[in-house]
Amino acid sequence: MKLAVLGGGGVRIPAFIRGVLSSRAAFDEISLFEPDEFRRQTTGRLAVELADALGRPGAVRLTSEAEEALQGADFVFSAIRVGGDRARVIDEEVALRRGIVGQETTGPGGCAMALRTIPVLLSYCEVLARCSPGAVLINFTNPVGLITQAISLHSGVRVVGVCDTPSSTLDRLAGFIGADRDKVAFSYGGLNHLGWITSFTVDGQERIGTLLDRYEELRHFDHVFAAFDPAQVRRLGAIPTEYVYYFYEPARYVAAVARAGASRGADVLRLNSELLSAIMKAFGTGGVSDAWAAYSMLMGVRRDTYMRTDTDGESQQARARARRKAAGPAELGGSRPGGYEGVALQVIDGLTARSPGEVIVNTRNGASLGFLDPDDIVEVPALVHGGGVSPLAVGQLPRSAIGLITQTKQYERELVDAAVTGDVGLAALALAVHPLVPGVTVAREMISEYRERHGPHLAYLR
């Protein structure tokens, strides 16, 4: 079985490869496609050497040619970032300067990112459909829902969008309540980064009421719950997943970033730059263990500071660095895959019929959310099995959630139209539909500014 990775030099890839190699998934070959040479020499090389160190020499290969990577692939992961970290900073700035949510995936930031990404990814999909017509594309590229929507509507490739936010939220809730995760049934639904948990049963007993009642405790138990107002959550009767924060607290978020003085994107840009240099340096003076040590330390800092700027108004990076330094680097071997790669491997285990089961994925709605269209991409639990991805029936969501989902999905559909037609006017009209964008006039301004600042990446918009 061959796995291809688009964006094979991404900073998450070494950890990802380590997870994949530690999993049951029997990949004979993993081909990392990365056009950037510096990336190939740093994160790419680290991934390749990790395979050697973990006893799978030759299992991972690097290439600068997409077609070479995609040829004969059974599964493809997409983790590309068109324009790199620098583009993300622009995405955020253009919005934030206007007092608008400038998050990577949500609102104008996600819009700009999607506009850069869709044409590129659709062109890879053309190659894939030609080279390996039966392959399944597992999409991590953000904004996951939007990108998956574009591929689903405008390519012949089978695609599943993956994000670990909802499943990790469920894991944390099970941990909080002391429930055996295997005994949990839940109801979750929405779009990527815009989903709610409306039911949580353990051994057939509904516990959502308990979770809502104890929401203050939950906030202390885990940072992902801390951003929400407990009274609001209780009134809602459902637990929002973390990214809903940007819809529930846009003004607080904008103020927090202003207080911090730098957006998450700016911090990540610096962190990643440091990370690549550190890997380069480690390989210059030592071997894979040194590179892994530097890598795992800085990735740990990155993880520990996640969403801190947006919710707390300070990145807390210094504290995170101190803590990580004290703890020392992660071991090179033996990790059970978690996060994105964990979900992706569940999808593969299901699709290869090795272990069919329930996975929350971004997939065609069918009849899962009755208020959307069958071909809308939604984020819902699905049975993933040898025959494909079959969404579960999602129960009633809160009415205000239905409102936000409806509008956001319309934005997504219109933005995909804009990207595939290259119509700059449509892009602005699409952005104006987004719940976090205060009107069409400002949407036009922002699209215009994005187009100017992102240069060749958005030059196709006319």
Positions in 365-384 near a second copy (CB under 8 A): 366-368, 370-371, 374, 381, 383
Nearest to a second copy of 43, 187 (CB atom): 187
Q: Which of 201, 210, 289, 448 binds a second copy (CB under 8 A)?
A: 201
446 in the Ramachandran plot: left (φ > 0), alpha (ψ -120 to 50) or beta? Answer: alpha
Buried b (16+ CB within 10 A) or exposed e, 129-158: bebbeebbbbbbbbbbbbbbbbbbebbebb
Beta bridge partners of 163: none
Q: With contact defined as beta carbons under 8 Å apart, do 48 and 40 qualify?
A: no
Q: How far is the CB of 431 from a second copy (least distance, A)?
A: 11
Q: Which of residues 437-456 bind a second copy (CB under 8 A)?
A: 438-442
Dist. CA 110–CA 88, nearest whole Å:
9
The minimum distance between CB 258 and a second copy, in angstroms, equals 13
| Residue with Cβ nearer a second copy (163 or 405) | 405
Q: Is 99 in the site for a second copy (CB under 8 A)?
A: yes
Among 197, 191, 199, residue whose Cα is nearest residue 406? 191
Mark the segment that binds a second copy (CB under 8 A) among 6-14, 33-41, 140-148, 432-440: 432-440
Find the shortest distance in angstroms from Cβ 252 to a second copy.
5
Tokens at 234, concatenated: 């209780």
What phi, psi does 196 have (nearest 5°)? -130, 145
226 touches a second copy by CB under 8 A: no
Using CB under 8 A as the binding rule, whether residue 402 contacts a second copy is answered as yes
Q: Is 213 in the site for a second copy (CB under 8 A)?
A: no
Listed in sequence order, the residues at least 6 apart from 454 whose beta carbon sits closer than 8 Å to its beta carbon are 83, 87, 90, 112, 116
Q: Verify binding: residue 273, a second copy, rule CB under 8 A.
A: no
User: Closer CB to a second copy, residue 180 or residue 334?
Assistant: 180
Residue placing its CB nearer to a second copy in the complex, 231 or 322: 231
Q: Which residue has the tokens 């996975």?
A: 359
Total of residues contacting a second copy (CB under 8 A): 73
Q: Is 202 in the site for a second copy (CB under 8 A)?
A: yes
Q: Does 392 bind a second copy (CB under 8 A)?
A: yes
Instruction: Single out the residue of 403, 452, 455, 459 in contact with a second copy (rule: CB under 8 A).
Output: 403
Sign, Cα dihedral of 192, 197, 198, 203 = positive
Between CA 366 and CA 119, with CA 80 as vertex, the angle to 5 degrees is: 65
Q: Could you say which of 55, 178, 204, 334 contacts a second copy (CB under 8 A)? A: 204
